Amino acid sequence: GAVVSQHPSRVICKSGTSVKIECRSLDFQATTMFWYRQFPKQSLMLMATSNEGSKATYEQGVEKDKFLINHASLTLSTLTVTSAHPEDSSFYICRCGLAGARGYFGPGTRLTVL
């Protein structure tokens, strides 16, 4: 089946630093990638939708200048958390969308900001 990777799987950083999370589709091309955030014991909340070669569309309440999304190719999207603070600590999951109802989740990245 289709495989999506995320790197890193876990990151711990100091408050004020920036963290980049990569999402790659390994054996297919994804025209659309979705970024979700999941706080402990909560559901997945959509942060933004990105299409290759165009600007990402952010959900209401998500700061686009804080969560920078780059979808430079059909197999790679990156989420950069700029000037991270403890409240940004969360589990970040990408999903690569395909035609129809198909799509595949990455394994997620656990971010801890000290």
In the complex, which residues of this chain contact another protein (CB under 8 A)?
A: 31-32, 34, 38, 42-46, 49, 51, 91, 93, 95, 97-99, 101, 103, 105, 107-108
Task: Return the number of the residue (78 or 109) whose C-beta is nearest another protein.
Answer: 109
- Point out which residues pair with 5 in neighbouring strands: 24
Measured CA to CA in angstroms, residue 88 lies from 10, 39, 108 at distances of 14, 9, 15
Shortest distance in whole angstroms from residue 43 CB to another protein: 5
Nearer to another protein, 28 or 91 (CB): 91
For residue 20, the number of C-alpha atoms closer than 13 Å in the C-beta half-sphere is: 7
Task: Tell me the C-alpha distance between 99 and 44, whole Å.
Answer: 22
As measured in angstroms, the least distance from the Cβ of 15 to another protein is 24
